[in-house]
Amino acid sequence: MKIARIAGRLRSRGGALAHDLLMIPVAWLGAFWLRFNLDSIPTDFLDQALVLLPMIVVIQGLVFLYFGLYRGVWQFASLPDLTRIIQAAAVGVVLCAAAAFFMTRMIHVPRASFPLFAVLLITLLSGPRLAYRWAKDRWPDTADLKKVLIVGAGRAGEELARSLLLDPTRGHHPVGFIDDDPEKEGRDVRGVPILGHCGRIPEIAAYTGADLVVIAVPSASTIQMRRLIECCERSSLPIQTVSRTRDFVSARAAVGELRDIAIEDLLNRQPTKIDWPGMRDVLAARTVLVTGGGGSIGSELCRQIAQLDPSHLVIVDASEFNLHRIHLELRDACPNLSFSIILADVCDTAAVERIFERHGPDVVFHAAAYKHVPMLESHLREAVRVNVLGTHTVARTAARHAVGRFVFISSDKAVNPANAMGASKRLAEKVCHAVHDASPATRFMTVRFGNVLDSAGSVVPLFREQIARGGPVTVTDRRMQRYFMTISEACQLVIASAALGEGGEVFVLDMGEPMRIMYLAERMIRLSGKIPGKDVAIEFIGPRPGEKLSEELFHPVEPLNTTRHAKILLAPHRPLEHAGFAERLAKLRKACDAFDEPALERILTGLVPEYLPEPSPPLEDVIPITRAKR
């Protein structure tokens, strides 16, 4: 294949060179013919012209090679190619005139023939190139290309059309534009017609035989994007989009780069405005520790912290695979970052103590946790051991070493918990509250939020796998709804909360409006170019153990207050009864060591009175899902 491409390139350049060499005698003799007013050329002058012709061809051919006339591709001939042709012709003609003077003293060589030769040569060289490009642009070979309908006839749409027209190797060819501006209808962009408004997408898609719809409106708000997607879905064609404006700014994408519609495009959320200088003031030149640093939330925290100039980043995780992955990523992406990876369990008191002694962190983000609700319903001991006692171990060690800030990442499931995961997170919040009250040197703060898209074990990758297999997509209940946020935005707000906190706060992230899981499933199926219920079935399996139909972000006795960040709200800690709390926590640890789950449940219910557990199903009835960290 590679040899064939090289051979094809050589044939192309050889053909171009042969064409140009052939044009030299045509232009040379044509110049004499024009000089004699398109009449017959006198014999003496014609003989002299033929004598000089080999010299003219050699000189002019060498000049063509020198000026690189064969670096360009005829299909993409443009102004730089024309400039090279003019330069080559001008220099060649001057050299030819000088050589002719020394050979003939200009006897029987009209002086006007040289400027005429230059004009003819430029015309004969550039004309076929431009005609070839025009023909390719006007009648491209699109037999094997996907036909693309572009939504948005603005700058991004024009850039995309130009890119697809000039580069057929991308495998796409634009057949029309869709735009809601009535003044644009009937016009064309780059020769591609603007065919109508968004409401006519199904009709236009059928008329043009389109294979793909591309949304080229990178500046669209999320609400506008959802409307465009819903219009495109009616065509039953696959949908892609160009990267958003904020991706261009962050250099994460190139103009005209296509990508699949992401689920975050459907979230009714505006880009978060982040106080990066304030966050840098908290983390720059400090040692930052992230527990669970290889998990979904933890690894994104590490990526963002790495951009804020910490003196050293310490990443702790119990999964060697997760640690290895984040280690390779940071090593390649942030070569100047000083960081350590530590394979350790947050429940291991000796290991945690050694980490704090050796690294002396100034800021701790505690993200290590078990989070899978149905799994933890049958593993109460693990939920308590990691989520509660692990948090207690890390928090207590941080207080003993006078860490400046400790940020505990909680969950919306901690509010009125109906499952072991939520109860363990609620008790972990209380643990941080208790340690904070006893440790004035350390600012403890809790950040509570809902689901993050595409996190390990979450519904989005599960739906994606099920759609790829052809279904069915399993939905627990039509009424099931959840709050969603992107991992990137959640971590930005967690770090911003660390900068806001003075100690003892529960920060609640503004998650916007909840999304129905049924809507999410239907949209993901449609975005794959399939029809829900027809191409991919949706199966209702009923709520899994411990699941609620909807989640809450704050308790009724937690009146929310605003902060100086619009998306971070403040919920005051509920009063904590310190008397006997430490003793009951010790009993919880003892029951955990003894693997006494009935005792664990009794103590947990006593410490979290709003927790009303349902009987745990047998272990074999639980859907096996690998453990994941938050």
Alpha-carbon distance of 232 to 148, in angstroms, equals 12
CB 30 within 8 A of CB 56: no
Residue 249's pLDDT band (cuts 50, 70, 90):
very low
Across residues 490-498, what is the average pLDDT? 90
Q: Which residue has the higher pLDDT, 211 or 339?
A: 339
**Helix, strand, coil percent values for the chain (each to nearest 5):** 50, 15, 35
Q: What is the pLDDT of residue 288?
A: 96
Q: CATH topology for 146-261?
A: Rossmann fold (3.40.50)
Reported as a pLDDT band with limits 50, 70 and 90, residue 518 is: confident
pLDDT of residue 614: 55
Domains 146-261 and 282-458+486-511+558-621 fall in the same CATH topology: yes
pLDDT band at 629 (very low <50, low <70, confident <90, very high): very low
Residue among 265, 247, 266 nearest 255 (CA):
247
Rg (CA), the chain: 35
**Span 346-370, average pLDDT:** 95
CA 542, 547, 548, 553 torsion-angle sign: negative
pLDDT band at 4 (very low <50, low <70, confident <90, very high): very low
What pLDDT, in 10s, does the model give residues 118-145? Answer: 888 888 888 787 777 676 666 555 556 7
What is the dihedral sign for C-alpha 189, 193, 198, 201?
negative
Average pLDDT, the chain: 81
Fold of 282-458+486-511+558-621: Rossmann fold (3.40.50)
User: Is 60 exceeded by the pLDDT of residue 379?
Assistant: yes
Q: Is the pLDDT of residue 71 over 90?
A: no
Q: Domain coordinates of the chain in residue numbers?
A: 2-138, 146-261, 282-458+486-511+558-621
Instruction: Supply the pTM of this predicted model.
Output: 0.65
Percent of the chain residues past pLDDT 70, beyond the cut: 83
Q: 551 or 392: whose pLDDT is higher?
A: 392
pLDDT of residue 435: 93
Least trusted range by pLDDT, from 29-43, 255-269, 414-428: 255-269
Upstream peptide bond of 472 is cis (omega within 30 degrees of 0): yes
Q: What pLDDT, on a 0 to 100 scale, did the predictor assign at position 536?
A: 86
Per-residue pLDDT averaged across 151-169, rounded? 81
- pLDDT for 244 equals 53
**Any residues with CB less than 8 A from the CB of 570 and at least 6 apart, and which?**
505, 506, 507, 508, 560, 561, 562, 563
Q: Is the pLDDT of residue 395 over 70?
A: yes
Q: Which of 367, 369, 370 has its CA nearest to residue 378?
A: 370
Give the CA distances from residue 278 to residues 406, 444, 495, 496, 510, in Å, rounded to whole numbers and listed in that order: 17, 18, 10, 8, 20
Query: Which residues have CB under 8 Å from 191's CB, separation 6+?
Result: 137, 138, 165
Query: In 3D, which of 374, 392, 375, 368 has the Cα closest to residue 588?
Result: 392
Q: How far apart are CA 287 and CA 302, in angstroms?
A: 12
Q: How far is CA 291 from CA 271, 501, 509, 569, 630, in A?
A: 27, 19, 21, 24, 10
Looking at residue 551, its pLDDT comes to 65
Dist. CA 521–CA 531, nearest whole Å: 11
